[in-house]
Every structure is written in C-alpha cells, then in structure tokens.
Amino acid sequence: MAGNTKREINYDRAFWKMRSQHYNDLEWANHRLYLDNFIKAGDFKKSDVVLDVGTGTGIVAHAVSPLVREVIGLDKSQDMLEHSNWYGNMYFIKRDIRNPLFAEGIFDKVTCRQVFHHILRCRQEAMDECYRVLKRGGLMIFSEGIPPTRKVKKDYIAIFRFKEKRATFMEEELFNLMKEAGFKDIKLKITYLRKMSVKNWLVNSGLSKPIQEKIYLLHKDSADYFKEDYNMVETSNDCLIDMKMAILVGKK
C-alpha cells in the first residue's frame, strides 16, 4: 500500500506467513458462540452478495456461504488465503481493502471480524471503503476484541506490544469509526468468550518461546484488578480468561 516502506512490507509478509500456519487452531477464532452471534447479527438472505474484509483463512466466509448467494473474501496475505479452502459460492481475492477494487454499491452485506486492529494507517479510509461498496440499505457486520474494562486498557496494550503492532479500541471508538463513514442505526452487542486458554492463544500465535513465556507471565503475575476484570482462573499450567468481543451492525 502507498506510504509503506519496503521494511514494513517485508515485516507484514513475514508476520502473516507466521500467523497462517496455526491460525485455524486458535480457540477464539472458531468459538461457536462468537461465530454464531456474529452471523446472527448479519440477518443474511439467500439473495445476498457478501464481501468478507480481511477474510484470512475464510472462517467467516465459510460460515456465511450456506446462507447467501455469493461470498467474496478479501485479504492482503496470500499465506492466509492459501488456508481458506475455496469451493462452492466462495471466491477469494488477494487485496487490501484500502486499495479500491469494486464498484460503488454492489454488496448487500460487508463482514469484517478481527481485522481493524491490524490497520495502523488510513483506518478511517478502510471503513469508508466498506461503506462505499455497500448498496443503499446494506449492512456492515463489524467485530473486534476489546479490553474488558477501561482500567485494564494499559495492561492490554502492554501485553499485545510483545505480540504485534496493533491498535486497541474501546466500544465508542469502534462506533465512531462506523459513524464517521456514514453508517446509521448502529447497534452494539457484546459477546463474552468464557474461560479462554491463554496457552492456546500463545502456542498458536507463531511467537518465539521466550516471547510466549513473557506474555504468559504478564497474565500470571498481573495485578489483582487485571485478574478480576478478566475473571481469570489459574490452573496448574494455564490461565483462563473471559475475552470480550464487540459486534457492531450499521446500515448504509
């Protein structure tokens, strides 16, 4: 994308190559309640043509495809797309949402799950493009993981700093991204994924063992307020936390 240095592009490619290897083994990524609530929010119809932004390995696209006419999955990482298993009414394209490809107003729905925290530049432009490609009256279904409370936001940022370059949002920031793009009737639903394994997340992250251990200890040795807000339970070899997922739906 314009403005990115060669070093940033190479880092990005290496990062997604690493992540792609075990992405489908992540507990949260395939969590039934989270996926079901995300799909229910979309009110999908058999006539719908859907754009899945940041489709990755196609988990959302696969869940949506039986409910609609066609799904186009868009992702900038070829390594992630190689794990997407194309078939039926699904089509996958290597492309960044910030590089316009589609005509205006051609999709009935746009889905975007756990993508925007990776967008460090031109984030509003990415949301504007999601709005642009929707038909009038079309819906965007948008989701991000967020800190359980504002109090632990600084801890959340500190933990993820060891994992990747990313943005951290609270609910109102996600809402404002959509509102600024022009979305109306924005509705928010919070889904909690209970007792999620920190070890599962780390083992399948592609991170080195020393970094995994550092992040694990940041959980295990965290302050009491952190453990309380995450409803954390420590076992003999793991930490189980409640993950908070925001699901927003807006209309064009």
Separation between Cα atoms, residue 144 and residue 116, nearest integer Å: 7
Number of folded domains in the chain? Answer: 1
Q: Is residue 209 part of a domain?
A: no
Q: Is residue 232 part of a domain?
A: no
Residue 12 counted as domain residue: yes
What SS3 class is residue 42? coil
What is the total residue count of the chain? 252
Q: In whole angstroms, give the CA distance from residue 169 to residue 221.
A: 24
* CATH number for 116: 3.40.50.150
Instruction: Identify whether 96 is part of a domain.
Output: yes
The pLDDT, as a whole number, for residue 28 is 95
Please state the φ and ψ torsions of residue 81, each to the nearest 5 degrees: -65, -30
What was the pLDDT predicted at 207? 87
Confidence of residue 88 (pLDDT cuts 50, 70, 90): confident
Q: What pLDDT is recorded for position 2?
A: 47
Q: What residues form DSSP beta bridges with 53?
A: 74
Q: Is the pLDDT of residue 234 over 90?
A: yes
Q: Which domain holds residue 190?
A: 6-195+243-251
Q: Is pLDDT of 194 > 70?
A: yes
In a domain, 234, yes or no: no
* Confidence (pLDDT) at 179: 98
Q: What is the pLDDT of residue 90?
A: 94
pLDDT digits (tens, 9 = 90+) for 55-87: 999 999 999 999 999 999 999 989 888 888 778
Asked whether residue 113 carries a pLDDT value surpassing 90, the answer given is yes
- What pTM was computed for the model? 0.93
Q: Is 212 among the domain residues?
A: no
106 falls within a domain: yes
156-175 pLDDT tens trace:
999 999 888 889 999 999 99
Q: Is residue 237 part of a domain?
A: no
